[in-house]
């Protein structure tokens, strides 16, 4: 779903929007009894997170203390890894068969290692009644070839964040709801204000937003055999959409070289009217650009004719070589249970992946004088009813995005026709399947 670099950026950027000082009281309720109790003696679980200190230090210290008090004989060794180091650290540990016991990753990167049989098969470890407490579509995102490799944790889904002043200057009364409306608004904003409507990246190793837009526009990316299915009329139309925007000068030229972080920078500086991002960035905007924040409003995520909306998932995986698999599963289920997910979602301004936590009034009711951030929480929670992992979970999904983005860039620069770019992208992907 999200390739490694996007995965690292998602976590690092999410933290930018969090409060830097807070204490959360974690739930003391017990998790389901699907895993075996720890054997006699002491079991130590090594738990890796990614750059969650100091923002989450108090949260996890409390959570770990609660777990240990309920599970005598099990100790948790929490290791916080700098996000820039996670790739090499986890790959090295897995290869050397000395991995941690529980790791927080995302389905996109985790599925690449799932394809190497690196993770514990959870289908025999998590009973159906516990599994059914999670949102079904979200659990599905943590499966590969019919096997569950991860337990869902927290979720984010994009919003359309927009500058009301720029829309007013352009004579636009409401933000676009579809990509077709976005193209019209982009031309109008450029004509009236000289500025860009938005920024999106075509850097192969960065955000998957453009690839997701294909699915929202009705494109089937791969068929049942894993072969390219986007060499089709809808696929060519999606290629043409982005090529036209670029050639008309409605996308910044650095869309080919800069990542999603640049979209946030441009919006905060008042150079773009729209930002497709998670609600956690509303705090970042408020801190970094108070005047822009005052003019900022929110709308549901852009989509295509399908009406589909994206969701990004963070999960917990247990390496196959863990020496404490049952205790590790028990801890992962504790971290992701209803009460602890609700506490973490409130602290981090994210969404939970369990049905009960998501049904809490915190995600459905806001006061009449609600802030933009409070309104965003309700909009994004409601979007989860339509949200899904838009791109297929594949062990080499990064290669699919690379093939599409590189050929899109070639068509944008006039080096290939759209038909040729689509054909070449399909051939490049298919060549990885042989």
Per-position DSSP letters for 124-157, written without gaps between them = GTS-HHHHTTB-HHHHHTTEETTEE--EEEEEE-
* Cα 362 versus chain centre, distance: 21
Same domain, 407 and 381: no
Q: Which of 81-90, 217-226, 244-253, 352-361 has the lowest mean pLDDT?
A: 81-90
Strand partners, 178: 303
More confident residue, 270 or 85: 270
Q: Which residue has the higher pLDDT, 35 or 21?
A: 35
Query: What share of the chain in percent tops pLDDT 90?
Result: 72
Integer distance in angstroms from the first to the last C-alpha of the chain?
A: 22
Domain co-membership, 404 together with 261: yes
Contact 417, 391 (CB under 8 A): no
Q: Give the H or E element holding residue 16.
A: helix 4-16
Examine the domain organization and report whether 372 and 399 are in the same domain: no
Residues 76 and 193 in one domain: no
Angle ∠(362,367,371) on CA atoms, nearest 5: 90
Domain identity same for 51 and 186: no
Whether residue 5 lies inside any domain: the answer is no
Mean pLDDT for the stretch of residues 405-418? 98
pTM of the model: 0.79
Q: What pLDDT score does 271 carry?
A: 97
The dihedrals phi and psi of 290, each to the nearest 5 degrees, come to: -55, -40
Residues 60 and 170 in one domain: no
Same domain, 202 and 115: no
**Residue 338 located in a structural domain:** yes
Rounded mean pLDDT, 46-63 = 92
The per-residue pLDDT for 29 is 38
Asked if the structure places residue 253 within a domain, the reply is yes
Any domain includes 28: no
Residues 183 and 245: beta-carbon distance below 8 Å:
yes
CA gap 54, 80 in Å, rounded: 10
Domain check: are 140 and 109 in the same one? Answer: yes
Q: Does one domain contain both 101 and 116?
A: yes
Question: Which tokens go with 257?
Answer: 């070289």
Does residue 20 fall inside a structural domain?
no
- Write down the pLDDT at residue 20: 30
On whether both 181 and 139 belong to a single domain, the answer is no
Please check whether residue 138 lies inside any domain of the structure.
Answer: yes
Residue 296, pLDDT > 70, answer yes
**CATH number of domain containing 231:** 3.40.190.10
- How confident is residue 41, by pLDDT bands cut at 50, 70 and 90? low
State both tokens at 139.
Answer: 């659990």
Note the pLDDT of residue 308.
93
Number of domains in the chain: 2
- Domain with 248, as residue range(s), is 159-310+390-432
Please indicate, yes or no, whether residues 167 and 51 belong to a single structural domain of this protein. no
**Max Cα-Cα span within the chain:** 72
Asked if residue 106 is part of any domain, the answer here is: yes
Give tens-digit pLDDT for 257-279: 999 999 999 999 999 999 999 88
* Helix, strand and coil percent figures for the chain, each rounded to 5: 45, 15, 40
In the chain, the percentage of residues whose pLDDT exceeds 70 is 90
Span 110-130, average pLDDT = 90
pLDDT at 22: 31
342 compared with 367, residue with greater pLDDT: 342
Looking at the fold, whether 192 and 274 belong to one and the same domain comes out as yes
Residue 127 lies in a domain: yes
């Amino acid at each position: 779903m999200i390739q490694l670099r996007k995965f690292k950026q998602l976590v690092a950027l999410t933290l930018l929007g969090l409060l830097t000082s807070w204490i959360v009281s974690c739930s003391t309720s017990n998790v389901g009894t699907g895993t075996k109790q720890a054997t006699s003696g002491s079991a130590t679980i090594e738990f890796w997170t990614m750059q969650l200190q100091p923002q989450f230090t108090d949260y996890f210290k409390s959570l770990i203390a609660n777990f240990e008090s309920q599970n005598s004989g099990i100790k948790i060794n929490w290791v916080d890894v700098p996000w820039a180091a996670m790739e090499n650290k986890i790959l090295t540990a897995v290869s050397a068969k000395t991995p941690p016991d529980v790791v927080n990753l995302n389905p996109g990167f985790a599925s690449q290692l799932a394809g190497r049989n690196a993770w514990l098969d959870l289908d025999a470890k998590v009973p159906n009644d516990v599994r059914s407490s999670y949102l079904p579509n979200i659990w599905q995102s943590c499966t590969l070839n019919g096997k569950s490799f991860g337990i869902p944790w927290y979720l984010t889904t994009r919003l359309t964040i927009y500058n009301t002043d720029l829309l007013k200057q352009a004579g636009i009364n409401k933000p676009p709801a579809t990509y077709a409306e976005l193209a019209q608004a982009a031309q109008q904003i450029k004509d009236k204000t000289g500025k860009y409507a938005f920024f999106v990246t075509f850097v192969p190793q960065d955000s998957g937003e453009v690839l997701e837009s294909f699915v929202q526009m009705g494109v089937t990316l791969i068929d049942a055999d894993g072969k390219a299915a986007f060499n089709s009329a809808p696929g060519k139309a999606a290629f043409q959409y982005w090529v036209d925007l670029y050639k008309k000068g409605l996308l910044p030229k650095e869309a080919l070289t800069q990542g999603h972080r640049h979209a946030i920078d441009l919006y905060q500086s008042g150079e773009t009217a729209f930002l497709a991002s998670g609600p956690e960035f509303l705090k970042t905007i408020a801190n970094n650009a108070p005047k822009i924040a005052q003019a900022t409003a929110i709308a549901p995520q852009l989509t295509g004719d399908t009406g589909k909306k994206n969701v990004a998932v963070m999960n917990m995986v247990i390496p196959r070589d863990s020496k404490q698999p049952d205790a590790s599963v028990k801890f992962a289920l504790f971290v992701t249970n209803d009460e602890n997910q609700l506490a973490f979602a409130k602290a981090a301004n994210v969404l939970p992946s369990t049905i009960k936590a998501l049904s809490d009034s915190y995600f459905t009711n806001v006061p009449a004088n609600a802030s933009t951030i409070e309104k965003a929480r309700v909009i994004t929670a409601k979007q989860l009813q339509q949200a899904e992992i838009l791109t297929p979970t594949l062990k080499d999904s990064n290669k699919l995005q690379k093939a599409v983005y590189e050929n899109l860039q070639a068509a944008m620069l006039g080096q290939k026709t759209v038909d040729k770019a689509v054909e070449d992208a399909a051939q490049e992907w298919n060549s990885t399947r042989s």
